[in-house]
Amino acid sequence: MSLKSLVVFVDPTSACEARIRYAAELALRHGAHLIGVYIQPNAWQNDRSDNFIQGGGAIREMLERHGLAERNARSDASLRFETLAERGNSSFEFRVIRDDDADHLARLHCLHTDLVVVGHPAPGGLSAPWSPERMLLSSGVPHLIVPQGWHDGPVATKVLLAWNGSREARRAITDSLPILKAAESVAVVVIDAGKNPLHGPEPGADIAHLLSRHGVTARVEQLQSKGTPVADVIRRFAADDRSDLIVLGAFSHSPKRELLFGGVTRSLLGVVTIPMLIAH
């Protein structure tokens, strides 16, 4: 597998610039086509008092005002995306989805790409009731979440791969393999291996061997939580190792949407400190 098409959800705020820069750098590195998707909100949502306007002239004025606000927001989102995308990537396009159609079309755009880039905190370019984990579970396409204000710098050069021997973690490796191969280093992090019967006699060793056969520079790090929440152990290791991407798998048992590591993914999604790729 290779990355040939990326979708990044954008909005007309400066908060989305970090995720556009991240997506554009990934697209450039992998020679991929970059698609910016903007979900156009209905201007009616901004001022409920407009529901009480009466009279033909007042209604026409209101419609013109709403139309202008929508066009300005759409133009701003397009300009932000194109300005950042064209700095290095020669293949990109900008698409607009009406909020009324987002429930169906946003998922459709995700299905036809290799990777979806969204922001944090929610909605991160998506529209309610979508969230990165819900879109992931609906489409099956891996999602890369970039926190608001993520600084310019290395992109996916030092990767933390959370490994627990599950099907979901294995799927995350397949979905992120092009990124793992392009990284300078990959730390295969195994936490509390002795408590997990899914590991073999040398936890993490076999998967590291598999990665090395694919040209991935990987090392195994066996950690003990010692009563500390596993999400905090991952964050601490990522900070100490100067990781710039976390990769992990997630699963859901509807309707509670319990996630990998007994809720670790959900905890990590609550406070995203560095970009994180989740797969299912």
Per-residue pLDDT of the chain (280 residues; tens, 9 = 90+): 789 999 999 988 888 899 999 999 999 999 999 999 999 987 655 555 555 565 566 656 656 665 677 888 889 999 999 999 987 667 999 999 998 888 889 999 999 999 999 998 877 888 877 788 888 888 889 999 999 878 767 899 999 999 999 899 999 999 999 999 999 999 999 999 888 887 878 888 999 999 999 999 999 999 999 999 999 999 999 999 999 999 999 864 443 444 344 478 888 888 888 999 999 8
Burial 209-221 (b: 16+ CB within 10 A, else e): eebeeeebebebe
| CB-based contact 32:26 (threshold 8 Å) | yes
pTM of the model: 0.87
Report the alpha-carbon distance of residue 170 to residue 280 in Å, rounded: 9
Q: Which amino acid is at 158?
A: K
Report the alpha-carbon distance of residue 240 to residue 274 in Å, rounded: 12
Pairing of strands 143-147, 276-279: antiparallel
Q: State the pLDDT at residue 132.
A: 83
Q: State the pLDDT at residue 19.
A: 92
**Cis peptide bond upstream of 121, omega within 30:** yes
Note the maximum CA span of the chain: 77
| CB-based contact 252:131 (threshold 8 Å) | no
CATH topology of domain 158-279: Rossmann fold (3.40.50)
Residues of the chain with CATH 3.40.50.620: 5-147, 158-279
In terms of CATH architecture, what is 5-147? Answer: 3-Layer(aba) Sandwich (3.40)
Partners of 190 in the beta sheet? 222
H-helix or E-strand spanning residue 185: strand 185-191
Report the alpha-carbon distance of residue 61 to residue 57 in Å, rounded: 6
**Residue 191, burial from CB neighbour count under 10 angstroms (0-12, 13-18, 19+):** buried
Nearest in space to 113 (alpha carbons), one of 90, 141, 91, 94: 141
**Cis peptide bond upstream of 132, omega within 30:** no
